Amino acid sequence: MTQPILPTGARVVGPAHAGVCGTWWRALAPDGTAQLVLRIAAPDPALADRVTTATRAVAALRHVGLPATGDPIRHNGALWLVAAGVSGSTLSELADSGGALLDLPAVATIAAETARLLTALHAAGLAHGAVHGRTVLVTAHGAVTLAEAALLPALRGEPADPATDRRAWAELVRWLVARWCDGQPRVDLLLRCVARGEQDLAQAVRELRDIPAGDLPTEALTLSAPTEALTLGVPTMALPDDAPTTALSMSPPVDPFVSTRVPTLLPDQPASPGRTYRSAGPAPTIPQPATVDAVFPGSTTTEGYEATGAPPSPDPVAEVRFGPGVPAGPPAAPAWPQPPAPPARPRRSRWRLVGSVLSALLTLALLVAVGLHLWQRMSPLEVRSVQVAVAEPPGERCDVTVDVVATVQTNGRAGTIRYQWLRGGAEPGGLLTQRVARGQRTVTLRLKWAFNGTGSATETAVVNIVEPTPIQGRTIFRYQCG
């Protein structure tokens, strides 16, 4: 069954689940990047402006644990936020999965990283406002990510309140301790750090780092979950009215975030020493050759032999000869003839050297030109900009068809544009394709929108380009028939 396409252009890969500020979907962008897509009901334009301001403020921090969502996409009275490259499981999902086993150092690590992220938000004059088990994610590498940062205060129109974040953080850590660490050694030390964190998160981070591992287990934790691991413990809900309706009947895909690994060592704490392998004894030494004393004829003296049961074989190097006719030394080896010296190579002329250099330069220039030509021909299509306008405003005419024209500027490369039209008050249109020829820098996309009956309405037409470059353009016009 075809997987639904959200108004952001992403393809749904899992069921919906509830967050604090709205509904989340796990989806894949057209280029295959994993995304978390959040839908927030926002009928009030002022509310949408506050959410945009909050998301931009969080994105300006450029913090890896506070994912940027970009400006929200408005569609049918709702805001759609996209966080790209975010993975992991929420703490609520880990608690409800039943297979997770967190020790005290792991809980202290999660508490310290969450407090560090909240401290970064507070230093920028922001507040999270929704610190909860559903908004704290733990990635496959043990990193902590905070979702929905600064959204709840923006939705309520309230100023940033770090004290609320500190209290919510303390309640979250106490819940983690009660869930996983009840009765473990040094849990009272962790709870004292939590109590101080309600007043000063930075001090809590410093004290959490100093909690020793001691005799606590130090093996890393691997959490395994079934296909729907990312939606365990939270109510699964259907897509909203303005989203595709096939999400409820689609078969559950293989979830890419089914394993989470949490380190059991605190930040900046040295790892426990590993095993050291040593030899069982000193390195063996090479025995020295046995000494051989002189043995005269008729003598049976054997002093100096090793106690091996047999005399050692004579050493040919230390052989001594006696008697006439024995040369004083070994004969000299014959002299081998030396090969003649190779003739000296003639020096290359200067003009020949210059010719070689010029030939190499010409070859290099030819390779650069060919490479540039191939790069220009093989480079992908890109969308530079898009402008949407009404070819002829309807004015006060009745029963008219409005011609909405989207003018797309490209980089002149060949390729295909995949897009869809989004009309106010209607379901998202299907994906359409437009072939672009090489050298064609302007592409026109049209929407025929028919109006019938009497009355007046202000309508919005949005072209949502999915590939090759995700971009949107919109126009607003008024239909009035007296």
pLDDT in tens, 129-139: 999 999 998 87
**Are 73 and 206 in a shared domain?**
yes
Assess if residue 251 is contained within a domain.
yes
- Interatomic CA distance for residues 201 and 230, integer angstroms: 29
Assess if residue 321 is contained within a domain.
no
pTM of the model: 0.47
Out of 206, 239, 262, a domain closes at: 262
- Residue 403 confidence class, pLDDT cut points 50, 70, 90: very high
pLDDT per position as a tens digit, 160-197: 999 999 999 999 999 999 988 888 888 888 899 999 99
Q: Which residue's structure tokens are 């709702």?
A: 78
Neighbours of 19 (CB within 10 A): 21
- Interatomic CA distance for residues 148 and 133, integer angstroms: 12
Amino acid 195 reads A
- Interatomic CA distance for residues 258 and 254, integer angstroms: 9
Q: Are 188 and 155 in contact (CB under 8 A)?
A: no
Assess if residue 246 is contained within a domain.
yes
Note the helical H segments in 239-387: 350-378
Q: Which CATH number goes with the domain that contains 427?
A: 2.60.40.10
- Residue 287 confidence class, pLDDT cut points 50, 70, 90: very low
pLDDT at 127: 96
Domain that holds residue 231: 11-262
For the chain, what percent of residues have pLDDT higher than 70? 70
Assess if residue 1 is contained within a domain.
no
Out of 262, 296, 329, a domain closes at: 262
Burial class of residue 347, CB neighbours in 10 A (0-12, 13-18, 19+): exposed
Neighbours of 45 (CB within 10 A): 9
pLDDT at 176: 92
* Residues whose CB is less than 8 angstroms from the CB of residue 459 and which lie 6 or more positions away in sequence, other chains included: 423, 424, 425, 449, 476, 477, 478, 479
Assess if residue 451 is contained within a domain.
yes
pLDDT at 479: 87
Q: Which CATH number goes with the domain that contains 219?
A: 1.10.510.10
Tokens standing for 324? 């006439």
Out of 239, 262, 285, a domain closes at: 262
Residue 272 has pLDDT above 60, yes or no: no
Assess if residue 319 is contained within a domain.
no
pLDDT per position as a tens digit, 191-228: 999 999 999 999 888 888 777 543 333 333 333 333 33
Q: 304 or 386: which carries more pLDDT confidence? A: 386
| Number of domains into which the chain is organized | 2
pLDDT per position as a tens digit, 91-118: 888 888 776 677 888 889 999 999 999 9
pLDDT at 337: 57
**Are 42 and 173 in a shared domain?**
yes
**Are 124 and 254 in a shared domain?**
yes
**Are 59 and 196 in a shared domain?**
yes
Tokens standing for 28? 């894949």
Assess if residue 30 is contained within a domain.
yes
Q: H or E stretch including 421? A: strand 415-423
Mean pLDDT, the chain, integer? 74
Helix then strand then coil, in percent of the chain rounded to 5, is 25, 25, 50
pLDDT at 234: 32
Read off the pLDDT of each residue in 61-71 and give the average, rounded to a whole number. Answer: 89
- DSSP conformation class of 148: S
Residue 236 has pLDDT above 50, yes or no: no
Least Cα distance to 119 among 149, 148, 98 occurs for 149
- Residue 76 confidence class, pLDDT cut points 50, 70, 90: confident
| Range name among 218-222, 341-345, 364-368, 477-481 with the lowest pLDDT average | 218-222
Tokens standing for 147? 């979702």
Is the C-alpha dihedral spanning 161, 163, 165, 171 positive or negative? Answer: negative
Assess if residue 373 is contained within a domain.
no
**Are 60 and 201 in a shared domain?**
yes
